[in-house]
Structure 1
Amino acid sequence: MPESPEVEALALFLRETLTGALVGATEVIEFRALKTRSRPLSELEGATIAEVRRFGKHVALLTDGPALVVSFGRAGWASWRLDGDSSTPPAGAPPVIATIDFPGRGELGFTDPGAWLSLGLSVVDEPVEVAAVAKLGPDPTADAFSPADLDEIVIGRRKQLKALLQEQESLAGIGNAYSDEILHAAQLSPVEHAANLDAAERSRLYGAIRMILGQAFADRRGIPIDRQKAAKVAAMRVHGRTGETCPVCGGVVHDVPGSQGAAQYCPTCQTGGAPLGG
């Protein structure tokens, strides 16, 4: 799943590549991806890209007419083909389910490999018309996001930390992978309830959020969009590393119980050496 660092890198690429570009022909190959059935992708044709913005894990292409909001979900992503490039996609590349042509610049594609489609395209007048954007909580990478802001989100919440970090209404842009990395850096158990954190633990959590996401934003910047997923996977210290050695303490990385291998933690760093559920 692309999270805010990868989506920010994509937004930066699109901003640099498409600002001022004329929208040409559009095509929707997989119609389940279009969430605004009364407003087809073709509404964008003839408009000019004015701005590209990120909202959590969503990207909005703003034009001098309607806007396009792209919600990537679990497996959606984007592709880019330069104008005049007739090469075929590499073997194993996810299928392109919709395209937008930008004459003289290239073709923006939207991809999703799953039978259960997660990518969504919404043609709207304003991005906040998309419900998932309207309900987003604060972006923890914003300059103005403070320890006090995190305290307001955490204090009194009877919710496990991993689930809270992924709750988009509370914190925008964090998903499964970076929540594992943040909790590992903060030395906090993924199943600890937020309400149980003391002031020192909340401070560690704030510092870890800012450090992990800030470093990921810097590291993903400038990486071609077709290499973003590989770069993200390579950077993980505990997420996806079941059975491997923790790079901090030398212990063994475990799966979070009940996650079916989708979430990981280090018992030595995060749970006092005792595996969860043991």
Structure 2
Amino acid sequence: MPELPEVTAIADYVDGRAAGLPIRRVDVASLSVLKTADPPVTALPGRIIESVGRVGKYLVIHTVPGSESADDPTISVVIHLSRAGWLRWSEDLSPKPLRPGGRSPIALRVHCGLPGEGFDVTEAGTQERLAVWVVRDLAEIDRVATLGPDVLALDEAAFATILAGHAGRIKNVLTDQRIMGGIGNAYSDEILHVARLSPFATAKSLSAEQVATLHDAIRAVLGDAIARLDGQEVARLKSEKRTGLRVHARTGLPCPVCGDTVREVSFTDRSFQYCPTCQTGGKVLADRRMSRLLK
């Protein structure tokens, strides 16, 4: 799932190529990805892409009126890539309209600038969690309106105040976008490993020293990822992300810090990884899925 560093990199990459370009055509191949109807997607052609940015883990494309479009001052396209979504920039898009309901992973295609220029929004697999909104105000989107503060905007004191108000496990607090925006499953694993904290530690029970260490780890892990992804082609972001991971998706491999075996806790549709020596005092956490199988 693209998280704060990847969405930042995608936004910067597309902004550098699309900002200032007119939208010529929008093809929708999967009607299920559109979560709004007013303004309609047909209001976008003729508008100018003003900028491309990020809010939490959401990609935001701001548009302004062009010479041939209606006078809505601002219409934004908001994209949540979810688990299997991605964006691909191209300078060789086919002019042929997409066929709705086909087997292609392309859900939405935006033609902008010169013929052939634009981007595809894609989704692999069959879960259909990709979501696209076309809105005049970001507050119209419930999931955006209820986002917590951007995690990189939190100083240590604000971060400590947030943790003190939550009795849940720190892994869940870090990834709950209503509490703070930007961190997902992969980077929370990395952050907790750097901070040497158990994913099951209680947020409000952390000591002041642990909170400070965790705050530093967030800034270090996300900052390093943003720096590594900066300027990369969108097509390379996934592989570049994987090269920087220390524990996430490395079950069974040695921890790069202590050499212990990286372990996994699995749930119905997700899992997380950790190092027992670095994070849990050597204790191996119960794998919930395996525990059910053994009953």
Output the TM-score relative to the length of structure 2. Answer: 0.87
CA contact (8 A) 2:93 2:118 kept: no
Q: Distance in 1 between matches of 2:219 and 2:111?
A: 37
Give the number of equivalent residue pairs: 270
Q: Secondary structure at the match of 1:244?
A: coil
2:111 maps to what in 1? 101
Equivalent residue runs for 1:108-257 within 5 Å:
108-142=119-153, 145-256=154-265
| Letter of the structure 2 residue corresponding to residue 82 of structure 1 | E
Identity of aligned residues (%): 39
Q: Select between 265-274 and 150-159 the one with higher mean Cα deviation.
A: 150-159
Going from structure 1 to structure 2, the CA distance change for 1:247 and 1:259 (only over 3 Å counts) comes to: farther
Of 273, 276, 284 in structure 2, the residue corresponding to residue 275 of structure 1 is: 284
CA contact (8 A) 2:150 2:182 kept: yes
Displacement after TM superposition at 1:220 (Å): 0.8
Q: Secondary structure at the match of 1:63?
A: strand
Equivalent residue runs for 1:6-25 within 5 Å:
6-25=6-25
| Letter of the structure 2 residue corresponding to residue 252 of structure 1 | T
Alignment of 1:45 onto 2:45: yes
Q: Distance in 2 between matches of 1:129 and 1:72?
A: 18
2:4 maps to what in 1? 4
Q: Distance in 1 between matches of 2:211 and 2:93?
A: 52
The 4+ residue runs of structure 1 with deviation greater than 6 A are none
| Letter of the structure 2 residue corresponding to residue 73 of structure 1 | S
Q: Distance in 2 between matches of 1:84 and 1:34?
A: 21
- Give me the CA root mean square deviation: 1.9
Going from structure 1 to structure 2, the CA distance change for 1:62 and 1:258 (only over 3 Å counts) comes to: closer
Larger Rg, first or second structure (1 or 2): 2
Q: Select between 62-71 and 255-264 the one with higher mean Cα deviation.
A: 255-264
Going from structure 1 to structure 2, the CA distance change for 1:130 and 1:156 (only over 3 Å counts) comes to: closer
CA contact (8 A) 1:83 1:103 kept: no
CA contact (8 A) 1:51 1:62 kept: yes
Q: Select between 121-130 and 174-183 the one with higher mean Cα deviation.
A: 121-130
1:89 maps to what in 2? none
Q: Secondary structure at the match of 2:36?
A: coil
CA contact (8 A) 1:160 1:191 kept: yes
Displacement after TM superposition at 1:258 (Å): 3.9
Going from structure 1 to structure 2, the CA distance change for 1:259 and 1:214 (only over 3 Å counts) comes to: farther
Going from structure 1 to structure 2, the CA distance change for 1:18 and 1:158 (only over 3 Å counts) comes to: same
Q: Distance in 1 between matches of 2:268 and 2:32?
A: 28
Q: Distance in 2 between matches of 1:101 and 1:269?
A: 49
